[in-house]
Amino acid sequence: MTDSAPGLLHWPRLLRMLGDGEHPAAPWLALAAGLTLASIAPAQNKTNIFVATGPTAGVYYPLGGGLADVLTKHIPNLNATAGTTDGSMANLLLMGQGKADVGFTMADAGWDAFKGQGKFEGKQLNVRALMVLYPNRMHVVTVDGTGITKMSDLKGKRVSTGAPNSATQIMAYRVLEAYGIDPEKDIIRERLDPGKSVDAIKDKKLDAFFWVGGVPTPAVTDLGATPGLKLRLIDHADAVEAMVKKYGPLYVKDAIPARAYPGQDSVNNIATVWNVLVADSKMSDQLAYDIVKTVFERKEDLVRVHAEARNFEYKYQTPGAAVVPFHPGALKYFAEKGIKIN
């Protein structure tokens, strides 16, 4: 976080022109200067925060933009901006570098960062949960004509496991591992975000892709609505048992309902992990409190940005869903609402 001061550079020059007050207009100009400087004084204390989101074709990006807008409008002297990233891992790394103040992440990536393991080995972060957001549903996406109807059919195919430094990549590897598929040997692996994956499928340069995100995800909707292509989502809920056994209770069996996307005729049985809004432990308790309070009070504003905001519920604020410890400022807000977390 940084403090910003307005770029008004002309008052010192004006006051020098006034000299020692001998100019006949000096009293009035001095009074005007004083009033104007007083009126801008609060801006000098404005706090800037950066919200790290995700790819433009996902859900983190629009929700993060809506979040930044709501926080700026409703928390005094706060200016929040949001920016696109590759997703959870990138967001956490940016926070570790002091380049982001708030970030969206999947719980499994947040846990790895908190513990300093996996992709975060040697890069342990003091990350804290502000709130649990919504379930992040794994999509294994293809279209008719690729020969892919089940997970084992991915072998030998051109498959994107998600963008580099994304939590999609972490979870995709774990799903593949559960089915005995080595992403380095058994598939022709690409590393694309959902938007680029959809473009590649349309151009017949890719057979399938992994994406973990909210429902609906704009890129998947786009693919399903493409004339001449029939969307197919591959069941993989059977992977959850093996994933939980190896990585802990981070994942649950879930389903994407039929017709969530154009051309999706049946229920898609999947693995799901929670999304969490996180901050560094160094964030002030007051700012953390204000952020969480504002999100819940302005929830309907965020629902208008994306329907997944309907899942911002008190009942989901549990240690098991967040995985990483809650920030003290968040705990204060939830305690005021009668929610016992720890």
List pLDDT tens digits, range 228-238. Answer: 999 999 999 99
Q: Does residue 42 form part of some domain?
A: no
Clarify whether residues 115 and 216 are in a common domain: no
- In this prediction, residue 220 carries a pLDDT of 97
**Rounded Cα distance, 212 and 273, in Å:** 9
Q: Does residue 111 form part of some domain?
A: yes
Residue 162 lies in domain:
136-273
**Radius of gyration from C-alpha coordinates of the chain:** 24
- In this prediction, residue 127 carries a pLDDT of 97
**Rounded Cα distance, 61 and 218, in Å:** 11
Q: Which of 228, 243, 273 is where one domain is finished?
A: 273
Residues 231/276, Cβ–Cβ less than 8 Å = no
- In this prediction, residue 119 carries a pLDDT of 86
Q: Which of 220, 247, 273 is where one domain is finished?
A: 273
Clarify whether residues 144 and 156 are in a common domain: yes
**Rounded Cα distance, 110 and 92, in Å:** 7
- In this prediction, residue 342 carries a pLDDT of 66
69-74 long-range contacts, CB within 8 A, separation 24+:
70/294, 70/295, 70/298, 70/301, 70/302, 71/291, 71/294, 74/294, 74/297, 74/298
Among 246, 198, 255, 192, smallest CA distance to 222 is for 198
Which token pair is 164?
């580099």
Clarify whether residues 88 and 144 are in a common domain: no
Q: Which of 273, 302, 317 is where one domain is finished?
A: 273
Q: Does residue 25 form part of some domain?
A: no
Clarify whether residues 158 and 244 are in a common domain: yes
Clarify whether residues 116 and 167 are in a common domain: no
Per-residue pLDDT of the chain in tens (342 residues, 90 and over written 9): 444 333 333 333 333 444 444 444 444 444 444 443 334 444 468 999 999 999 998 899 999 999 999 999 999 999 999 999 999 999 999 999 999 999 999 999 999 999 999 889 998 999 999 999 999 999 999 999 999 999 999 999 999 999 887 889 999 999 999 999 999 999 999 999 999 999 999 999 999 999 998 899 999 999 999 999 999 999 999 999 999 999 988 999 999 999 999 999 999 999 999 999 999 999 999 999 999 999 999 999 999 999 999 999 999 999 989 999 999 999 999 999 999 886
**Rounded Cα distance, 136 and 215, in Å:** 8
| Cα angle value 153/159/161 (rounded, 5°) | 120
Clarify whether residues 238 and 332 are in a common domain: no
- In this prediction, residue 57 carries a pLDDT of 87
Supply the CATH number for residue 101's domain.
3.40.190.10
Clarify whether residues 199 and 249 are in a common domain: yes
Clarify whether residues 286 and 213 are in a common domain: no
Clarify whether residues 263 and 303 are in a common domain: no
- In this prediction, residue 10 carries a pLDDT of 38
- In this prediction, residue 166 carries a pLDDT of 83
- In this prediction, residue 1 carries a pLDDT of 47
Q: What is the DSSP letter of 257?
A: P
List, in sequence order, every residue forming a beta bridge with 189; answer none if it has no partner.
Answer: 159
Clarify whether residues 165 and 257 are in a common domain: yes
Which token pair is 128?
């804290």
Q: Which residues contact 328 (CB under 8 A, 6 or more apart)?
A: 285, 288
Note the pTM of the prediction, 2 decimals.
0.78
Domain count for the chain:
2
256-264 long-range contacts, CB within 8 A, separation 24+:
256/137, 256/139, 256/215, 260/215, 260/216, 261/216, 261/220, 261/221, 261/224, 261/231, 261/233, 262/221, 262/224, 262/225, 262/231, 263/224, 263/225, 263/229, 263/230, 263/231, 264/224, 264/231, 264/233
Clarify whether residues 149 and 239 are in a common domain: yes
